[in-house]
Amino acid sequence: MRKDLPDIKILDEKDKRLHQKSEPVTFPLDPELKQKIYDALDYLEMSQVEEIAEKYDLRAGMGLSFCQIGIMKRIFVISEDYGDGTFGRYVVINPEIMSHSEELIYVGEGEGCLSVNRPVDGIVPRYARMRVKAYDENGNEYEIRVREDISIAFQHEMDHLDGILFVDKIDPKNPFKNKDKMREI
């Protein structure tokens, strides 16, 4: 793992850009944009390692959409902590949902977001499983099946690409609406 914290500045939910739709990406990627993808993944991984997060005062995050760092392109990255000091890295460019389960799930303790710096009560219905088509940083098309927490992360980040924050999906009058129709994870 790198020693220096990547230069990543995350926008706050009040920033208008977070409510705008991101533009499709064309290939090949410019080398600076490709480097920003690796920097974002490093940042997420560093944020999930307790000692590093404390040193740099980082909130733990597993996903980051590029609109959150002011780059209005349809790109997001996810870094999944395997719990053994290793991470699964996902680079997702121009994603499209090909299919999804009927079953809905939600995060029991509530979703979080690096752009939302406040506690939020409520649940967000998400598909339990999805098949997504996307491109990697080299322009290679791929399909991936995601489930449970990674499916939630993909949907959370894909919403960002369309200018939607998770807080926008919580019913303010009834934050736990339809909880009994979904499975908690």
Q: How confident is the model at residue 2 (pLDDT cuts 50, 70, 90)?
A: confident
Is the predicted pLDDT of residue 173 greater than 90, yes or no? yes
184 is catalytic: no
Contact 127, 104 (CB under 8 A): yes
Three-state DSSP class for 12?
Answer: coil
Q: What is the pLDDT of residues 156-166, one digit of tens each?
A: 999 999 999 99
Is the predicted pLDDT of residue 7 greater than 80, yes or no? yes
Peptide bond just before 6 cis, omega within 30 deg = no
Q: What is the pLDDT of residues 87-102, one digit of tens each?
A: 999 999 999 999 999 9
The end-to-end CA distance of the chain, in Å, is 30
- Return all residues near 156 (Cβ < 8 A) that are at least 6 apart: 63, 111, 113, 124, 126, 166
163: its two tokens: 């200018």
Q: How confident is the model at residue 66 (pLDDT cuts 50, 70, 90)?
A: very high
53: its two tokens: 């997060």
> Which of 13, 80, 111, 157 is the catalytic position?
157
Which backbone phi and psi does 163 adopt, to 5 degrees?
Answer: 80, 25
Contact 136, 142 (CB under 8 A): yes
Q: What is the pLDDT of residues 113-124, one digit of tens each?
A: 999 999 999 999
Per CATH, the homologous superfamily of domain 16-184 is Peptide deformylase (3.90.45.10)
Contact 130, 36 (CB under 8 A): no
- Return all residues near 81 (Cβ < 8 A) that are at least 6 apart: 45, 48, 62, 87
| Total count of residues recorded for the chain | 185
Which stretch of DSSP H or E encloses residue 94?
A: strand 87-100
Bridge partners of residue 129, in order along the sequence: 147
Domain ranges of the chain: 16-184
Q: What is the pLDDT of residues 16-59, one digit of tens each?
A: 999 999 999 999 999 999 999 999 999 999 999 999 999 999 99
- Return all residues near 123 (Cβ < 8 A) that are at least 6 apart: 106, 107, 110, 170, 175, 176, 177, 179, 182
Is the predicted pLDDT of residue 11 greater than 90, yes or no? yes
